[in-house]
Amino acid sequence: MKRLLYILSLLPIGLSAQNMYNVSSMFENELLGTARYVGMGGSMSALGADLTTMGTNPAGMAMYRSSDFAITAGLNVKTNEAIYEGTAVNSNNVNAYLGNAAFVFSLERDGKYLKYLNIGLGYRKKNNLTSDFEMCGYADGFSQQFVMYQLYNTYNTPFDYNNMSSSMYTNLNYSWLTLLAADAYLCDNTGDNFLAYDDSTLVWTPDDLDFYEEVRGGVSVVDFNLSANFNDRVYLGATVGVANVDYNRYTAYSESDSYGAIYTLENNAFIKGYGFDLKLGAIFRPFKYSPFKIGLAVHTPTFYNLNEYYSAAITDPDGKYFTTTDADFYGGDFEVRSKLATPWRFNAAMSYTFGTYLALNAEYEYADYRTAAFTGRSKVGKAQNEEISYNMKAQHTARIGAELNVDGFAVRLGYNYITAPFASDAYKELANASVIETSTDYMNRFDKNIVTAGLGFRGKRFYFDLAYMMEQQESEFYPFYDYKVPNPGAQVSEIDHSVVATLGVHF
């Protein structure tokens, strides 16, 4: 049984467990698709004639002169190293995924202007969020308990932590984080001091901090495409995308001293939902006897309807376990509904082909993450949207790709440079979050570099492509934000390796 709370307008600091760090990954379009597309670094918005382009520049589908079907699978290896206060921890995750399955039905027309009318349908992985992450290190005077203490004394209505009741979880004046701390009785022996003594020294002073995260799932999209070729000079296309969100994030944060664990805080967020968007594209060949082409595309926001199933638990210094799912007022996970609009996205590209031997494409994409917004709410939406506008940035993406073809065999290379989505001083402030938000961690990602390479073979009917991709990105991870004494954070280096294979048939 799940309980859904509708009293949004009564909440002073917000009900939704969603925040910009939870949903920012849904803003991005990862480099996923056919092996040809990946091998060229996703730089095909003016070249076209690839099934993945129905999700980037829909006009690229108008380049097809015959019908085509392909299926793509990938293997991804994520590796990262987190260094916190001199302690380095390595994590890795290996996962296989279905990257793309699509077809295009090409209809040759004998009209005066219309040469081909093509219909496409495809599935593609938009975001593969599956990953593992861990960090640990010497506490050095830092503690999540200070955040709990500040939240209790500054932003919450004080409560008697010696007389707790499950009904307090429905009182919108109390943060679940401070209620869990009270349940775990992080006090002195007499119970007179909650978390910290009068001089602000902690009752339980940690020697070490440890954090673990496990994410599974992601975002996938089904695309419906219609495109047209006019005199081999103008190519137009439109794609309606239906997105499906399905992923789970589990975290465990603990503090310990020389006697063992002081407490462990666990969070589990399962996000499900769907969304819709529209992509419009055009490719022009401005000079009649030249293969030079210009591509333009615009993507509307994806309008998501999201359901988050959220629960938290804490283990106290004696090993006793307290969980929100055991509270008397509901059983099972807590459910919250929200609506989210991602940013508009704009793409401009140009390409040139040298006979049938060499194809080159370069493109630029722009998306202002500051314009993303939760919709359909007043107080809650305003606070969350202000957080997005202050802490996120406009993102710029540059892609280049090349393909060399000799007697049906192809060699491909690609490169992407993607700027950071977060401002350098972005942070997660629990006072601006929700009463049910007990996860204090956040990660600020910096610029990303992607290098790709690929091989391909084209037969009379079947074709096979293989691609390799390496992504490199630096980040800063913070287990919590303490506005009095900011935590130094962990320096994170991530390198992802992917191998992608496509088998296709044209007819």
- pLDDT at position 16: 52
CB 253 within 8 A of CB 440: yes
Q: Mean pLDDT in the chain?
A: 89
Distance CA 310, CA 313 (A): 11
Distance CA 71, CA 51 (A): 10
pLDDT above 80 (res 106): yes
HSE-up (13 A, CA, CB side) for residue 251: 22
CB 308 within 8 A of CB 269: yes
- pLDDT at position 376: 67
Q: Give percent of the chain with pLDDT exceeding 90.
A: 69
Q: Classify 385 as helix, strand or coil.
A: helix
pLDDT above 80 (res 189): no
- pLDDT at position 156: 65
**What size, in residues, is the chain?**
507
CB 65 within 8 A of CB 48: no
Distance CA 149, CA 155 (A): 10
Q: Classify 136 as helix, strand or coil.
A: strand
CB 153 within 8 A of CB 197: no
Q: Which of 130-144, 217-231, 250-264, 474-488 is predicted least confidently?
A: 474-488
Position 137, amino acid:
G
Provide Rg for the chain, Cα atoms: 26
pLDDT above 70 (res 102): yes
Which among 186, 34, 197, 23 has a CA at the least distance from the CA of 123? 34
pTM of the model: 0.91
- Locus of tokens 């938000």: 437
Residue 2 confidence class, pLDDT cut points 50, 70, 90: very low
Give the highest mean pLDDT range of 194-203, 411-420, 481-490.
411-420
Token pair in block for residue 401: 């790709």
Report the 10 Å Cβ neighbour count for 269. Answer: 22
**Type and span of the H or E element at 84:** strand 68-84
**If you write DSSP's letter for every residue of 352-367 in order, what string do you get?**
EEETTTEEEEEEEEEE
- pLDDT at position 279: 98
Which among 301, 312, 423, 277 has a CA at the least distance from the CA of 374? 301
- pLDDT at position 382: 75
Distance CA 435, CA 101 (A): 42
Strands 334-341 and 3-4: parallel
- pLDDT at position 18: 62
pLDDT digits (tens, 9 = 90+) for 7-31: 333 333 444 556 788 788 888 889 9
CB 77 within 8 A of CB 493: no
Q: Which of 102-116, 341-355, 445-459 is predicted least confidently?
A: 102-116
> What is the rounded average pLDDT of the residues 246-255?
95
**Terminus-to-terminus CA distance in the chain, angstroms?**
51
